[in-house]
Structures are given as structure tokens and as C-alpha cells.
């Protein structure tokens, strides 16, 4: 466990639990769900070397057919590193090698930088051989901070991916519909934000073109910047990562107090 502190904020990293951010406390308020029965249901964890679902766990890449474990049947989900132990590179950087069941060799690095007004996260996928990859983060933000008001989400997106009965994008873009959501959005006109009235406002900034939003749980809101949508490899939207040409993605969480 690693603890970072700056200007009224404390961040806890757990390299041994999937390279995740386990806690973010700002002005004494815990922003994240910090415990759950399944590792997929808490904290803020990196999704790599793929983010979201891969339909039926199947992909084809340069003549190779791959069958990944169905970690959320009938699909593979959120990469292969969620339960892996990452090694600590320095005080705020974690790294892990890509091994089975991912058939392409390389490594993933997760850099965390705490500032006075927020947190910057960087994911880097380096390849030892050509591979498809897309990455993102899955934060579980609490619906309520302490006993305060419920979170209010602002999602300035113009389009979303049509999703089929298997909860996988078809590749077709449609107008944004009302939630609750477990969907991928694009064409953002500004950063998504969460406001806990009279407590805290949080902007979720990223140059990533896609964000998955999960608002079905009653206790949490998940806003997940991704470098490509779920099932990107089968939609032709995964990045080709090669030796010397890594995939790099960033996310900035920027907070401000509303407590007066």
C-alpha cells in the first residue's frame, strides 16, 4: 500500500490489488467505494490491455485467433490485469507485465500524480510485439459523500453507441437517450462532471474520445474515460501498438470544495 497526500487530499494506491487507486479522500470525504465482494466493484482501477467488454472473449489480430476467459459471461471484460499484482516502480508508479491469458507480450505502467486540486493518472501500454490495445479507468464514485446530497452527473455528450441485447456496442452511433446507463458515449463537448451539492464538485477530464457511464447501481456512479469503446478490436477501433510506439492515455480528476 502507498499513501499520497497534498492540500487536504489523501490517495491510497494498492499495487498488489490490480494497480488500483483504493481511496481518494478530499477534505475528509471519501469519494470512492472502498470495498466490495468482487474486485470489479470498487476503487478506481485501470482497464488494460483492453477496456470494457470483448464480445464472447474472441478477437482476431494479424492472422491470430484468440479466445480470452469469459470473466463476465458471456464476455471478457476490463482487461486481464484486474486481479494481478503490480510492482511498485517508484512512489507513485506501478507496472505489470502482460502474460497469459493475453497472448501478446508487453507491459503496462500506471502513473499517479496528486496535485493540490486533483489527480492525474497515466496509462502506458508498451509492446514487445504488435498487438491491439485500448485502455481506460473504472472509478466507483459514491452516490453520497457522508450524509450529504446525492451526486448529480453532467454528461455533455452528443452521441452514444447503440448497444445490443448482449450489452455490447454494435458500432452504430445514436442520439443520447435517458438513463440509467451502462453505455459508451462520444462527441463530448466538455468534461463530464459530478457535483455533490454543498460538498464537492469533480471534473473528469481526458483527451480520450470515449467515456463509458454506468449509473445503474444505487450506491455508485461510474464515469470511465477510454481510448476506444468496448469491443474496439472487433469494431476496428483498437489501436495498433508496436515496439517503440506505445499507447498512452491520461485522465485528470479535478475537484473543488462546495462546502463554503
Q: What is the pLDDT of residues 68-78, one digit of tens each?
A: 999 999 999 99
Domain layout of the chain by residue ranges: 2-148+216-257
Confidence of residue 211 (pLDDT cuts 50, 70, 90): very high
Q: Residue 260 has what pLDDT?
A: 57
Report how far apart, in Å, the C-alpha atoms of 7 and of each of 10, 145, 256 are: 8, 19, 12
Total-model pTM: 0.95
Residues 104-112: what's their mean pLDDT?
98
Q: Residue 149 has what pLDDT?
A: 80
For 14-35, b/e burial (b = at least 16 CB within 10 A) is bbebbbbbbbbbbeebebbbee
Architecture of domain 2-148+216-257: Distorted Sandwich (2.70)
Residues 130-146: what's their mean pLDDT?
96
Confidence of residue 91 (pLDDT cuts 50, 70, 90): confident
**How many other C-beta atoms lie within 10 A of the C-beta of residue 152?**
12
Q: Residue 140 has what pLDDT?
A: 98
Confidence of residue 1 (pLDDT cuts 50, 70, 90): confident
Amino acid at each position: 500500500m502507498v499513501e499520497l497526500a497534498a492540500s487536504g487530499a489523501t490517495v491510497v494506491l494498492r499495487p498488489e490489488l490490480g494497480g488500483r487507486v483504493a481511496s481518494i479522500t478530499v477534505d475528509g470525504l471519501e469519494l470512492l467505494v472502498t470495498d466490495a465482494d468482487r474486485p470489479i466493484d470498487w476503487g478506481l482501477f485501470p482497464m488494460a490491455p483492453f477496456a470494457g467488454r470483448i464480445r464472447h472473449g474472441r478477437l482476431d489480430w494479424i492472422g491470430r485467433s484468440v479466445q480470452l476467459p469469459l470473466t463476465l459471461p458471456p464476455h471478457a471484460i476490463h482487461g486481464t490485469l484486474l486481479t494481478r499484482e503490480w510492482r511498485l516502480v517508484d512512489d507513485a508508479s506501478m507496472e505489470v507485465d502482460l502474460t497469459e491469458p493475453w497472448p501478446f507480450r508487453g507491459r503496462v505502467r500506471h502513473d499517479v500524480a496528486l496535485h493540490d486540486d486533483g489527480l492525474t493518472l497515466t496509462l502506458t501500454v508498451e509492446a514487445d510485439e504488435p498487438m491491439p490495445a485500448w485502455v481506460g479507468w473504472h472509478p466507483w464514485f459514491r452516490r453520497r459523500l457522508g450524509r450529504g446530497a446525492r451526486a448529480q452527473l453532467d454528461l455533455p455528450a452528443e452521441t452514444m453507441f447503440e448497444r445490443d441485447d448482449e450489452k455490447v456496442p454494435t458500432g452504430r452511433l445514436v442520439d443520447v437517450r435517458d438513463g440509467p446507463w451502462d453505455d459508451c458515449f462520444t462527441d463530448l463537448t466538455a468534461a463530464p462532471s459530478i457535483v455533490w451539492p454543498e460538498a464537492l464538485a469533480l471534473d473528469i477530464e481526458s483527451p480520450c474520445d470515449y467515456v463509458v457511464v454506468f449509473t445503474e447501481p444505487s450506491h455508485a456512479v461510474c464515469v470511465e474515460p477510454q481510448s476506444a469503446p468496448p469491443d474496439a478490436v472487433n469494431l476496428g477501433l483498437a489501436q495498433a501498438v508496436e515496439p517503440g510506439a506505445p499507447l498512452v492515455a491520461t485522465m485528470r480528476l479535478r475537484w473543488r470544495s462546495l462546502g463554503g
